[in-house]
Amino acid sequence: MRRYARITQKLPREIVLLRGLPCIWSKCTFCDYIDDNTDDLGEIQRVADEELAKVTGEFGRLEVINSGSIQELPEEVRIQIKELLAAKSIEEFICESYWAYRKEFDAARSYFGVPTRIKLGVETFDDHLRNDVLNKAMPFDGPEDVARFTDTICLMVGLKGQTREIIKQDMDILLNHFKYGCVNLFTENSKSAGLMDEEIKQWFTDHYGFLEDLENIEVLWNNTDFGVG
């Protein structure tokens, strides 16, 4: 498991993958990331000590992910991150959170003492696919509801049942309603057998390669493109 990397292309930053407490939801049908969660506070702290010590602050931007939500890092680790941001003169912090925590997003932004961007895994704005197939438990009326809480979302491409029209709608929403975005091409894992659609992934690759030219959109053609995992 690689837990520290440097991203030197778009939005240059250091990125650290920590271990956190179990995800509050833990029922998404496609997610095996939660296997990295643990109730062992000592192990969580050990990983945090080891990986955060690698951060230099060279880009002035740090992203911390923990296979769940920033709120699921123990307070001691969140304090450690906050102190690190100040010590290394880091000017922007990026983290992830889940929809159930949306009313706590502002508190999280204020907590770290620097401009903080919270990524939200929407996966798709198609309600049936998001909630009935992926089991995200994310009901909302539309992109405006999501944009009230964050300007940064993650979308997923390559799922069975995902049509070209759904992808076009998702990409249009991303480009017109959000400041930043990350598009993940779905990679099958131990918990998602039979969920991947190679044909729709190839169609997306053929038609949306231009996203690579946009500074505010990152595309993970492979799920380890950020260098961690």
Can you give the pLDDT at residue 223? Answer: 78
CA distances from 1 to 4, 8, 49, 102, 214 (A): 10, 20, 16, 29, 30
User: What percent of the chain is modeled with pLDDT above 90?
Assistant: 90
Which pTM was predicted? 0.94
Question: What mean pLDDT do residues 62-80 have?
Answer: 97
CA distances from 102 to 47, 69, 111, 153 (A): 27, 11, 15, 13
Of 213, 119, 203, nearest to 166 (Cα)?
203
Q: Quick: pLDDT tens for 93-132.
A: 999 999 999 999 999 999 999 999 999 999 999 999 999 9
Angstrom distance (rounded) from CA 197 to CA 183: 16
* C-alpha angle 59-74-131 in degrees, rounded to nearest 5: 85
User: What percent of the chain is modeled with pLDDT above 70?
Assistant: 100
Phi, psi of 116 (to 5 degrees): -125, 125
Angstrom distance (rounded) from CA 175 to CA 157: 15
Angstrom distance (rounded) from CA 152 to CA 170: 14
Q: Give the mean pLDDT of the chain.
A: 96
Q: Quick: pLDDT tens for 175-206.
A: 999 999 999 999 887 777 788 999 999 999 99
Domains and CATH numbers, the chain: 4-220 (3.20.20.70)
Can you give the pLDDT at residue 190? Answer: 73
